[in-house]
Homo-oligomer: A and B are copies of this chain.
């Protein structure tokens, strides 16, 4: 049907120019809307590009402009909870700004993290979003980057305000009358976990007695998958269990159930992150969640700003985004100490 015999699979600016008898510069200008082009020509060029099925060559554009339009996302472990939420929010924010996202999984390994970063740089990304492996500190680099949820070079980190989130947990538990609370963390080397626990502690100061159980330490002693001793804590008077992640809150809940301790009637449980299944279980998990879309928007916006050279690598004094409490069913009032069970 086409007039041109044996047309190339992918038309380029030259093909459009030829078809219209104008120059490629004019076509380029018309399509990008940058240079001045006569008002009458613009629609004709646009139409022709459309009908020919023109798709600009990213490679040529990138070579010419030095910008790939792609951002790299470095994650410690795509498959573990929470990171998918981050990845999704980042992908949305980036694509809303016209950027693509190239992913790299550092598999929780520090050296692989460096390698992943290099791989991404070699692929020509314009900037990097890094969610560092716990405890890692990202040194400065010669490419714009933003860090999520871990301290780094001052000025380019966005994170949830985990301390404030912890405060939400503490306040909720205090309001419910709990006086003896077990905090459940995984690893004390995690800044995020320490902030959450610190926030809970601070908001509960004096109002409740608090103990902390670190799962990794506990498992190092008792073996992977060992019971956490929650039933025992319960018999010693603990009425509330606050975990730094829904994952551990779930583990706590199933362990209590296993010991015939009812949630929330006898024991209260609260978690963090609102993981995918948190609302589907019975009882549904009360939790505190991060504002991922906002975190992603800030990280991406700041990154793009520094890519465009409009800012000094700054995220607005290390943004800390408030978390919010999602009240569901695992929290109840503290059972009276006087009458433990009817």
Neighbour of A84 across the interface among B79, B142, B227, B257, CB < 8 A: B79
Q: How far is the CA of A284 from the CA of B119 in the complex (A)?
A: 38
- 1/0 per position for A139-159, CB-CB distance to B under 8 A? 000100000000000000000
Min distance, Cβ A81 to any Cβ of chain B, angstroms: 6
Neighbour of A281 across the interface among B79, B254, B283, CB < 8 A: B254
Interface-forming stretch among A14-22, A31-39, A99-107, A197-205?
Answer: A99-107
A59 touches B62 (CB 8 A): yes
List CB contacts (< 8 Å) of A226-276 with chain B. Answer: 227, 247, 250-251, 253-255, 257-258, 260, 276
B124 touches A103 (CB 8 A): no
Interface-forming stretch among A41-49, A63-71, A332-340?
Answer: A63-71
Neighbour of A258 across the interface among B60, B258, B282, CB < 8 A: B282
Interface of A is mostly: mixed
B104 touches A103 (CB 8 A): no
Neighbour of A247 across the interface among B70, B247, B276, CB < 8 A: B276
Chain B residues, Cβ within 8 Å of A68: 58-59
A123 at the A/B interface (Cβ < 8 Å)?
yes
Chain B residues, Cβ within 8 Å of A255: 282
B282 touches A227 (CB 8 A): yes
B78 touches A100 (CB 8 A): no
A194 at the A/B interface (Cβ < 8 Å)?
no
List CB contacts (< 8 Å) of A79-115 with chain B. Answer: 79-81, 83-85, 87-88, 91-92, 95, 100-105
Chain B residues, Cβ within 8 Å of A95: 104, 119
A9 at the A/B interface (Cβ < 8 Å)?
yes
Min distance, Cβ A145 to any Cβ of chain B, angstroms: 16
A254 touches B282 (CB 8 A): yes
A104 touches B81 (CB 8 A): no
A225 at the A/B interface (Cβ < 8 Å)?
yes
Chain B residues, Cβ within 8 Å of A257: 254, 257, 282
What number of A residues sit within 8 Å (CB to CB) of B?
57
B104 touches A58 (CB 8 A): no
Q: How far is the CA of A253 from the CA of B57 in the complex (A)?
A: 53
Min distance, Cβ A223 to any Cβ of chain B, angstroms: 13
A122 touches B55 (CB 8 A): yes
Chain B residues, Cβ within 8 Å of A92: 105
A56 at the A/B interface (Cβ < 8 Å)?
yes
Q: How far is the CA of A74 from the CA of B62 in the complex (A)?
A: 23
B57 touches A60 (CB 8 A): no
A214 at the A/B interface (Cβ < 8 Å)?
no
A176 at the A/B interface (Cβ < 8 Å)?
no
Q: How far is the CA of A105 from the CA of B92 in the complex (A)?
A: 8
Neighbour of A58 across the interface among B78, B123, B251, B284, CB < 8 A: B123
Q: A59-B62, A87-B103 are in contact. List 7 more A-B contacts (CB 8 A).
A: A78-B88, A83-B84, A91-B103, A225-B279, A250-B280, A253-B254, A254-B257
> Can you name 30 A-B residue pairings with CB atoms under 8 Å?
A9-B142, A55-B122, A57-B63, A58-B124, A59-B63, A59-B68, A59-B124, A60-B63, A70-B102, A70-B123, A77-B88, A78-B84, A78-B88, A79-B276, A81-B276, A81-B277, A88-B105, A91-B103, A92-B105, A101-B102, A102-B102, A225-B280, A227-B282, A247-B280, A251-B282, A253-B254, A254-B254, A254-B282, A254-B283, A255-B282
